[in-house]
């Protein structure tokens, strides 16, 4: 019996003497060297008590060793559980209590704060530092360079990824070997990745984008990765000429556009820029194409499903849309009475081999969001046009109901973003004594602009129905975002909750 994910992604690295990881200091790690590291770490983790089906929770800085822990966990037949490095000990306490891992890897600098948390939940605490040092490295010293992976089939659990938890407790999405492999195979084919590609990788690896999209595609196709610890404009500009592709979040691309060195000459060697994890402004699309000649490819995915849709590699990449459903993925838009008509707004549901198995230890939540026939209720509001292109207009929880009328924030935000001097906007609903909820806009100015919120709102008078127009607006320097660049509207709602109550 084989280990589905290990055999597809990691076993082919055996004997590969070309670079798999290119590091910012100029060092390179061959595929074979990486696989030997994986084997030593797998032996070390097994010696620490990790076996098939056990959870391995990881809150460590991005490094080759951190990526190798993912591979070692797969080899062991265990379940990989990456945690955001920004989580506090109190937040980690919830995840360890919910997932009950047998081992918890953390940075040595956080050991003192996290040791009581690990002990409380019976997890073996093992340290792994940013440069590869720590107890795990010590445990791996002298271990064999080969490892026989535990048998795992497509339906076996490979990872648990926790949702961002902007409303209520985070939920652990259970992803199988088949979920992860099928999505990597479809994307690698759709985006034309081969063993000649060098992917510039500046994303975190505790999130599906950096771990299961970027890394898995490169592994599957035999390519290399320029493996950066995070996004740094100087590093990225210096290394882009060595790359053929880049994956990022919108803030990566806006920061690059702020640098005059980012131009056609610098990007001439690249064939593909992919954006995801947060909406990309149409203005960024246009400016990027004008500056580089490249049109960013935007796609749409979720923790529970990996990727669902993508703009085409060959064909029209439409700004403001997330493209068409991936091959093998079914997508529909649902209203209260069933599937809505073409172009109408509803809740997006998806079904396919990419869709997760349910939420860890939360059967009631699983029943609420994952239908018995395999359709997952994403909670995203969207439309599908005549050509099958999907447009996301917001989250169902962000829908504003004012005076009995439904208002989709994205529609208002698009018009606000077109107003002179506005860089970006976020539209939310706030409690209102007369209307139940009232539309409220949070605006950020373009560089060097002093923005007048009332003048911006006046620009909407003839462009939107009165009930959709924001009743008030504020100007702020920046919108609050999570690690992946998504605007955290829950924080805005909390901050301005009493605006109309005074």
Q: Are residues 206 and 114 in the same domain?
A: no
Give the DSSP letter string of 457-477: HHTTTTTS-GGGS-SEEEE-S
Closest CA relative to residue 345, chosen from 398, 300, 298, 297: 398
Q: Are residues 377 and 243 in the same domain?
A: yes
Closest CA relative to residue 145, chosen from 50, 64, 34: 34
Q: Is residue 276 part of a domain?
A: yes
CATH number, position 127: 3.40.50.980
Contact 402, 438 (CB under 8 A): yes
Q: Are residues 391 and 438 in the same domain?
A: no
Indicate the residue among 349, 373, 395 that finishes a domain. Answer: 395
Q: Are residues 349 and 225 in the same domain?
A: yes
pLDDT at 166: 45
Contact 412, 439 (CB under 8 A): yes
Average pLDDT (325-331) is: 97
Q: Is residue 443 part of a domain?
A: yes
Q: What angle do CA 258, 251, 187 make, to 5 degrees?
A: 125
Distance CA 251, CA 296 (A): 13
Instruction: Give the other-Cβ count within 10 Å of 432's Cβ.
Output: 17
Q: Are residues 474 and 409 in the same domain?
A: yes
The overall average pLDDT reported for the chain is 93
Q: Is residue 160 part of a domain?
A: no
Q: How far is CA 334 from the centre of its chain?
A: 24
Helix axis angle, 89-99 relative to 111-120, nearest 10°? 30
Q: Tens digits of per-residue pLDDT, 411-466? A: 889 889 999 999 999 999 998 877 778 899 999 999 899 999 999 999 998 888 78
Distance CA 347, CA 232 (A): 37
Q: Are residues 323 and 210 in the same domain?
A: yes
Place of tokens 């320029």: 226
Neighbour-count burial for 343-382, b at 16+ CB within 10 Å, e otherwise: eebbbbbbbbbbbbbbbbebeebbeebbeeeebbbbbbbb
Average pLDDT (170-197) is: 97
Q: Tens digits of per-residue pLDDT, 62-109? A: 999 999 999 999 999 999 999 988 888 988 999 999 999 999 999 999
Q: Are residues 418 and 379 in the same domain?
A: no
User: Is the pLDDT reported for residue 271 higher than 90?
Assistant: yes
Closest CA relative to residue 183, chosen from 148, 149, 159: 159
Closest CA relative to residue 75, chosen from 37, 101, 104, 103: 37
pLDDT-derived band at 502 (thresholds 50, 70, 90) equals: low
User: Is the pLDDT reported for residue 165 higher than 60?
Assistant: no
User: Is the pLDDT reported for residue 227 higher than 70?
Assistant: yes
Q: Whole domain around residue 358: which residue ranges?
A: 198-395
Indicate the residue among 339, 368, 395 that finishes a domain. Answer: 395
Q: Is residue 213 part of a domain?
A: yes
Q: Report the DSSP beta bridge partners of residue 22.
A: 28, 226
Q: Are residues 408 and 376 in the same domain?
A: no
Kind plus residue range of the DSSP H or E element containing 225: strand 224-227
Q: pTM of this prediction?
A: 0.85
Q: How far is residue 49 from each of residues 4, 42, 102, 115, 255, measured CA to CA in Å?
A: 23, 11, 7, 17, 44
pLDDT at 405: 73
Q: What's the total number of domains in the chain?
A: 3
Q: Are residues 410 and 430 in the same domain?
A: yes
């Amino acid at each position: 019996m084989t280990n589905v994910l290990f055999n597809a992604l990691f076993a082919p690295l055996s004997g590969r003497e070309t670079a798999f990881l290119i590091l910012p200091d100029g060092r390179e790690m061959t595929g074979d060297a990486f696989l030997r590291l994986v084997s030593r770490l797998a032996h070390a983790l097994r010696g620490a008590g990790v076996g098939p089906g056990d959870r391995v929770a990881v809150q460590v800085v991005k490094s080759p060793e951190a990526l190798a822990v993912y591979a070692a966990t797969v080899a062991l037949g265990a379940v990989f559980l990456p945690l955001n490095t920004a989580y506090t000990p109190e937040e980690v306490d919830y995840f360890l209590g919910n997932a009950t891992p047998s081992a918890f890897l953390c940075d040595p600098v956080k050991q003192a704060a996290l040791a009581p948390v690990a002990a409380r939940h019976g997890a073996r605490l093992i340290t792994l530092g940013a440069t590869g040092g720590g107890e795990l490295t010590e445990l791996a010293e002298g271990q064999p360079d080969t490892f026989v992976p535990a048998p795992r089939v497509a339906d076996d659990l490979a990872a648990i990824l926790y949702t961002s938890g902007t409303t209520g407790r985070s939920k652990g999405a259970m992803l199988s070997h088949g979920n992860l492999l099928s999505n990597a195979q479809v994307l690698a084919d759709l985006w034309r990745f081969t063993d000649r590609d060098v992917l510039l990788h500046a994303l975190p690896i505790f999130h599906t984008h950096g771990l299961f999209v970027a890394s898995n595609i490169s592994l599957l196709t035999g390519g290399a990765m320029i493996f950066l610890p995070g996004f740094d404009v100087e590093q990225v500009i210096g290394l882009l000429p060595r790359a053929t592709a880049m994956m990022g979040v919108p803030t990566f691309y806006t920061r690059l556009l702020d640098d005059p060195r980012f131009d056609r000459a610098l990007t001439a060697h690249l064939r593909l820029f992919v954006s995801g994890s947060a909406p990309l402004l149409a203005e960024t699309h246009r400016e990027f194409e004008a500056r580089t000649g490249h049109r960013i490819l935007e796609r749409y995915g979720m923790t529970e499903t990996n990727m669902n849709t993508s703009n085409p590699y060959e064909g029209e990449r439409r700004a403001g849309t997330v493209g068409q459903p991936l091959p093998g993925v079914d997508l529909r838009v649902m209203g209260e009475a069933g599937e809505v008509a073409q172009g109408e707004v509803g809740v997006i549901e998806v079904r396919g081999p990419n869709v997760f198995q349910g939420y860890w230890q939360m059967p009631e939540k699983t029943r609420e969001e994952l239908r018995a026939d395999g359709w997952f209720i994403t909670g995203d509001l969207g439309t599908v046009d005549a050509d099958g292109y999907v447009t996301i207009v917001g989250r169902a929880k962000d829908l504003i109901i004012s005076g009995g009328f439904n208002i989709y924030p994205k529609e208002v935000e698009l018009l606000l973003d077109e107003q002179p001097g506005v860089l970006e906007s976020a539209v939310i609903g706030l409690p209102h004594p007369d209307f139940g909820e009232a539309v409220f806009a949070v605006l950020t100015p373009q560089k060097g602009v002093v923005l007048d919120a009332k003048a911006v709102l006046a620009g909407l008078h003839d462009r939107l129905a009165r009930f959709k127009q924001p009743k008030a607006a504020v100007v702020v320097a920046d919108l609050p975002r999570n690690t992946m660049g998504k605007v955290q509207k829950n924080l805005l709602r909390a901050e301005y909750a009493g605006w109309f109550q005074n």
